[in-house]
Amino acid sequence: MLNLPSFFVPLMGLVFPSIAMASLFLHVQKNNIV
């Protein structure tokens, strides 16, 4: 149980910003097309 947060927290720290950047990029790209 103690090993899970130490693995999960850095993973979320990398995955969440990348998803946010990707969704923001797609949103800007969609606005530029329209």
Res 25: pLDDT: 94
The predicted model scores a pTM of 0.54
- Sign of the dihedral through C-alpha 17, 20, 26, 32: negative
What percent of the chain is predicted at pLDDT more than 90? 32
The Cα–Cα gap between 20 and 26 comes to 10
Q: What is the mean pLDDT of residues 20-24?
A: 95
